[in-house]
């Protein structure tokens, strides 16, 4: 089972430290950002300890490295065209970093139309990706399903398909499904995931699915809020997410947890991933294990 979590690549450990963190959770895959997603500060590729990290991945039995694109990039903003060259250039550099890390896929928030309408954003996102993508790159840019907060683009499978249809090299583009985002966008993930998967197959194509972000949601279906919750502590529930993780049609797709850290207060937060991955491996929910660390069930 390809299961992992979002880990940190920082400090002296860099890539090696990220692999060690994933291994400590019992993961078989992993995801990280090359730097803080809200800013443009990045380490040089030569400082990332890439050869050691790749060797550590192999030794630990980890595969399908996922590098998440930063949030700071908004290719969909046609209202401020002066920001577009920066967004394209920074994503070019981010793809180069992902390539150097031998990444499998790069989840990418398509962007927001900031009032100009989805059609304008879809066209510019595709234009930007066509400038960013190179014929010899290996990493897949995996457009993420979004919750529909504000003016986000990607809240429907149709919007993602519209972007992909405009890509000159569509084999370099894929999709990241986020369970929380899809439910918040209005898809019935909890009660009819097979139906959601079938709809995705007809609109986009299952061959385009590269990554699944496995997150519970703090919100009811269709809330358009994008607030992740710990596995089994939200409106989707453990049984739903466990079935998705073990779904036979997703066997070759890396499943990545991005659930909130837990703790008695904000000064004492710890990652939940070792506990949550353990549940999903055993297919047995034991909420008391996270409650003991300070997690609160939905509504508390």
Q: According to the annotation, is 289 in a ligand binding site?
A: no
Beta bridge partners of 6: 31
How far is CA 209 from each of CA 42, 97, 177, 254, rounded to the nearest angstrom?
A: 28, 22, 7, 10
Q: According to the annotation, is 258 in a ligand binding site?
A: yes
Q: According to the annotation, is 181 in a ligand binding site?
A: yes
Q: According to the annotation, is 213 in a ligand binding site?
A: yes
> Shortest CA distance to 259 belongs to which of 284, 293, 222?
293
Q: According to the annotation, is 268 in a ligand binding site?
A: no
d(CA 207, CA 72): 28
**What token pair was written down for 5?**
């979590």
What is the per-residue DSSP string for 237-270?
-HHHHHHHHT-GGGTTS-EEE-PPPB-SSTTS-B
Q: Is 3 in a helix, a strand, or coil? A: strand
- Separation of CA 213 from chain center: 5
Q: According to the annotation, is 168 in a ligand binding site?
A: no
Q: Phi/psi of residue 31, each to 5°?
A: -135, 145
Beta bridge partners of 175: 143, 209
How many CB atoms neighbour CB 102 within 10 A?
A: 14
Q: According to the annotation, is 93 in a ligand binding site?
A: no
d(CA 182, CA 193): 10
Binding-site residues for Zn(2+), in ranges, read 68, 109, 144, 178, 181, 213, 226, 228, 258
Binding-site residues, in ranges, read 68, 109, 144, 178, 181, 213, 226, 228, 258
């Amino acid at each position: 089972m390809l299961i992992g979590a979002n880990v940190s690549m920082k400090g002296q450990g860099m890539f090696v430290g990220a692999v060690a963190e994933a291994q400590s959770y019992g993961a078989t895959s992993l995801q990280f950002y090359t730097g803080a997603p809200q800013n443009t500060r990045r380490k040089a590729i030569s400082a990332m300890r890439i050869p050691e990290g790749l060797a550590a991945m192999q030794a630990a039995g980890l595969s399908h490295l996922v590098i998440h694109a930063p949030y700071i990039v908004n290719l969909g903003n046609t209202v401020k065209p002066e920001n577009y060259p920066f967004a394209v250039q920074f994503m070019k550099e981010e793809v180069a970093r992902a390539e150097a890390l031998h990444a499998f896929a790069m989840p990418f928030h398509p962007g927001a139309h900031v009032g100009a309408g989805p059609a304008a954003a879809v066209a510019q996102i595709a234009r930007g990706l066509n400038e960013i993508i190179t014929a010899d790159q290996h990493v897949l840019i995996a457009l993420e399903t979004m919750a529909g907060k504000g003016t986000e683009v990607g809240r429907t499978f149709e919007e993602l398909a519209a972007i992909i249809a405009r890509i000159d090299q569509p084999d370099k583009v894929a999709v990241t499904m986020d369970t929380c985002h899809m439910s918040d966008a209005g898809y019935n993930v909890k009660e009819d995931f097979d139906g959601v998967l079938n709809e995705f197959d007809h609109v986009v194509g299952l061959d385009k699915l590269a990554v699944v972000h496995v997150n519970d949601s703090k919100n009811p279906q269709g809330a358009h809020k994008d607030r992740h919750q710990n596995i089994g502590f939200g409106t989707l529930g453990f049984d739903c997410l466990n079935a998705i993780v073990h779904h036979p049609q997703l066997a070759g797709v890396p499943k990545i947890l991005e659930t909130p850290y837990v703790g008695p207060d904000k000064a004492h937060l710890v990652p939940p991933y070792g506990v949550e991955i353990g549940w999903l491996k055993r297919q047995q929910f034991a909420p008391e294990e996270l409650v003991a660390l300070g997690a609160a069930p939905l509504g508390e």
